[in-house]
Amino acid sequence: MAEFSLNEPCAVPRRRDPASTRRKLLVAARREFARNGLAGARVDEIAAQAGVNKQLVYHYFGDKNAIYFAVLKWMYDEIVQHEHTFNVDGLSPDKALRKLVQSSFDYLELHPDFVVILNDENRNDAAHVRNLAHFADIRTPLLRIFSRTLSQGVREGLFRKGVSPEQLYISITALSYFYFSGMPTLSAILGKDLRSKSALRARRKHVVDFVMQSLRP
Amino acid sequence: MAEFSLNEPCAVPRRRDPASTRRKLLVAARREFARNGLAGARVDEIAAQAGVNKQLVYHYFGDKNAIYFAVLKWMYDEIVQHEHTFNVDGLSPDKALRKLVQSSFDYLELHPDFVVILNDENRNDAAHVRNLAHFADIRTPLLRIFSRTLSQGVREGLFRKGVSPEQLYISITALSYFYFSGMPTLSAILGKDLRSKSALRARRKHVVDFVMQSLRP
DNA sequence: CCATTTTTCAACCAAGCAGTTGATGAAACA
DNA sequence: TGTTTCATCAACTGCTTGGTTGAAAAATGG
């Protein structure tokens, strides 16, 4: 009987490509953590989705927590990079704020993984985000832009006085974030699909209006 | 050598008290699910915290999912009951809304478990909440009160036109909910403790102002 | 007091899981 | 070409965990 092994070298021999393997693992991990959270995620599943052996998770990252941390750092870098592309120079404070609110809504719409992983991080008492703070100033660039825009708008008489930039930052984030983060239960409660094109458009408009109206002098 | 068993009847013999046992299990489960989510929660831990044998979880509820569902239903009943105590009759729409916004903030402050369990439910795509919808109309009473108050305020010229009650419901909830749900990461980012008395008071005031200002005609 | 039902429990099991081991073979470089 | 380094893998280990079993103890009811 002829020996026939599934383990012989493939017709297309696999190449050694550590960078690509690492990246594939990160992508798979992000999906898996988003779907199931840190506790619910399965290392086997991450490896399978990445199409590599489970041991490589340990080889490249150390353990489950370490790859989770790497995913978190990756997401954070993405956000900071994105926020650095914001350009509101030359815009009046109200136009600028409008644009910023829209941007933060759009970002969350395009990155559902971020929302759900951040939720998990919060349940875990931000243990890893706190750790991230050792590497970098995690105060997002957006907060600084908000502060500048707000105070400039107040000076120009476009916005009312007495609004704290930090509170505003939390509120603007909240209005968009909660919509996406609570979408499943909200959809169930309201009995409509909040992910539909029209629902998204309606929410986006409401959020912008709500903020701008609130800041009127 | 004298026999000495840890299993002999206790000095204070345990009483059979199914109702109390069930309740103790629910309380423990709620804590455990809040701390670790559905996937992360340990049935052994629930039983231990309740001070009873693990098998009682299965005896009274069936399986892990079933007790999770029971916790969810319990929380929901609590909320509905709480919202039924709202009484804004006789108040002008603006006073009424102010009171409602404060109440929803206060409720979340007093029920951190609720926030964190609802987050988990959302990550699970609201699978259980959807199920809850088979038992009852889960559209919360609060939504109806909002609707009435809003339209009355518009009629009386106290609020601007064109605000959808559903969007308003989402926004008011968002402004408070996100503060609590995102507290760990927000605290890390802003570098201050958002759970402190003064921070809570400041946020509460901001939320109320933010909403009321936004609704001005 | 005895039979029956309900509540409680310790011990156990099978499956699933994070993490380990030891080997193979491709690159790198001498 | 020989040696070293490192990416890759299959198979395994030990522990955790959801769930089961069979029976003792407490109430119930005659």
Residue A15: per-residue pLDDT: 55
Residues constituting chain B: 217
Residues 8-47, chain B: which have Cβ under 7 A from strand C? 14, 16-18, 21
Which residues in chain B have Cβ-Cβ distances shorter than 8 Å to A125? 184
Contact B122 A206 (CB under 8 A): no
Q: How far is B121 from chain A (nearest CA, A)?
A: 8
Residues 6 or more apart in contact with residue B149 via CB below 8 angstroms:
B88, B93, B96, B97, B100
A58 CB inside 7 Å of strand C: yes
Residue A9: per-residue pLDDT: 32
Contact B167 A211 (CB under 8 A): no
Give residue B55's region: left, alpha or beta (phi > 0; psi -120 to 50).
alpha
- How far apart CA B206 and CA B186 sit, in angstroms, is 16
**Nearest nucleotide by C1' position to the A42 CA atom:** C17
Residue ranges for chain B with pLDDT beneath 70: 1-16, 135-138
Q: Please determine whether the domains at B17-62 and B69-215 fall in the same fold group of CATH.
A: no
Say whether pLDDT at A2 is over 80. no
For strand D, give the nucleotides within 7 A of a protein CB. 6-11, 16-22, 25-27
Whether A110 contacts chain B with CB within 8 A: no
Domain spans, chain A: 17-62, 69-215
- Comparing A106-115, A206-215, B6-15, which segment has the lowest mean pLDDT? B6-15
Structure tokens at A57: 């998770």
Contact A184 B129 (CB under 8 A): yes
Residue B140: per-residue pLDDT: 79
Residue B131: per-residue pLDDT: 85
Residue A118 CA to D19 C1' — how many Å? 32
- The whole-angstrom distance between residue B78's C-alpha and the CA centroid of its chain comes to 8
- How far apart CA B213 and CA A97 sit, in angstroms, is 17
Size of interface A-B (CB pairs under 8 A): 162
**Helix B183-190 vs helix B165-181: crossing angle, to nearest 10:** 70
- Selecting from A123, A184, A214 the residue whose C-beta is nearest the C-beta of B213 gives A214
Say whether pLDDT at A139 is over 90. no
- Span between the terminal Cα atoms of chain B, in Å: 87
Mean pLDDT, chain A, as a whole number?
89
- From the list B173, B207, B217, the residue with the least C-alpha distance to B98 is B207
- Is the CATH code 3.90.79.10 the one for domain A69-215? no
Q: A162 and A198 in contact (C-beta within 8 Å)?
A: no
List the helix and strand counts (H, then E) for chain A.
11, 0
Residues 11-30, chain A: which have Cβ under 7 A from strand C? 13, 15-16
Whether A73 contacts chain B with CB within 8 A: no
3-state secondary structure chain B: CCCCCCCCCCCCCCCCCHHHHHHHHHHHHHHHHHHHHHHHCCHHHHHHHHCCCCHHHHHHHCCHHHHHHHHHHHHHHHHHHHHHCCCCCCCCHHHHHHHHHHHHHHHHHHCHHHHHHHHHHHHCCCHHHHHHCCCCCCCCHHHHHHHHHHHHHHHCCCCCCCCCHHHHHHHHHHHHHHHHHCHHHHHHHHCCCCCCHHHHHHHHHHHHHHHHHHHCC
- The whole-angstrom distance between residue B146's C-alpha and the CA centroid of its chain comes to 19
- The B residues from 141 to 160 touching A (CB cutoff 8 Å) are 143, 160
Q: How far is A184 from chain B (nearest CA, A)?
A: 5
- The pLDDT tens digits of the residues spanning A16-53 come to 677 888 999 999 999 999 999 999 999 999 999 999 99
- How far apart CA B208 and CA B185 sit, in angstroms, is 23
Residue A10: per-residue pLDDT: 31
- The whole-angstrom distance between residue A7's C-alpha and the CA centroid of its chain comes to 39
- CATH class label, B17-62: mainly alpha
Structure tokens at B108: 């979340």
Residue A136: per-residue pLDDT: 65
Residue A211: half-sphere exposure toward Cβ, Cα within 13 Å: 31
Residue listed under structure tokens 């106290």: B158
Q: Is A209 exposed, middle or buried (0-12, 13-18, 19+ CB in 10 A)?
A: middle
Residue B53 CA to D23 C1' — how many Å? 15
Q: A32 and A42 in contact (C-beta within 8 Å)?
A: yes
